[in-house]
Structure 1
Amino acid sequence: MGLNDWFNTLHMDYDGQARAEKLSRIIILLFGFVGFIWGYIIQQFSETVRILGAGFILAAILTIPPWPIYRRKPLSWQKVRPQRSGDSDGEGKTKKKKQ
């Protein structure tokens, strides 16, 4: 897979979106928990914020770009059905009026 192919497929499938969301939540929660504990131990709230920010940046790097791991199950779209010649949009159909 070349670099040109990677840039031409800038999408995620639905399963990949769910996987990316779950991964980002796990990373942010883990870094938040560790940051809270570390900040409590050294009594510095700024360290908690820094660790949480690092977790956010890591989660963004791992989940925002459409990595190939998020494109494993693409949707197979149905073929377009040709319109039959006898069919038309709404001809011959009558609507009932509400009373």
Structure 2
Amino acid sequence: MGLVEWYNGLHMDYDGQARAEKLSRIIILLFGAVGFIWGYIIQQFSETVRILGAGFVLAAILTIPPWPMYMKKALAWQKVRPNTGEGDVSERRRMRTYNFPV
């Protein structure tokens, strides 16, 4: 099993997506606040931007890949129901006639 097949088998669940978004917002907010305070103290806006950029990179590394910590509450999908032979739902919808007011 190659690295590509292993990576394609990983997916975040819905709860993991919410946790990743919350974590990225917290990281960027904290780094932004620290960067603003530090930049104000030394009077260098470029330091504020650097610290905020470092926070963005850290948040991206921690939240973009589907790490196993984001796959703890997977949904249990229902099994596919067998075809009853009455026809496809889309076929029944196509065969319906609608009486729209003119």
As a proportion of its length, which structure holds more helix?
2
Q: Does 1:95 align with 2:97?
A: yes
5 Å-filtered alignment, 1:19-98, equals 19-85=19-85, 87-88=86-87, 89-90=91-92, 94-98=96-100
Aligned partners of 2:14, 2:98: CA distance in 1, in Å?
40
**Structure 1 residues not aligned, in runs of 5+:** none
- Cα–Cα, structure 1 residues 96 and 33, in superposed 2: closer, same or farther, change >3 Å? same
Under a length normalisation based on structure 1, what TM-score does the superposition of the two structures give? 0.86
Residue 80 of structure 1 aligns to a residue whose secondary structure is: coil
Aligned partners of 2:82, 2:27: CA distance in 1, in Å?
48
**Structure 2 residues not aligned, in runs of 5+:** none
Structure 1 residue 8, shift from structure 2 partner: 4.4
Under a length normalisation based on structure 2, what TM-score does the superposition of the two structures give? 0.83
Report sequence identity in percent.
Answer: 72
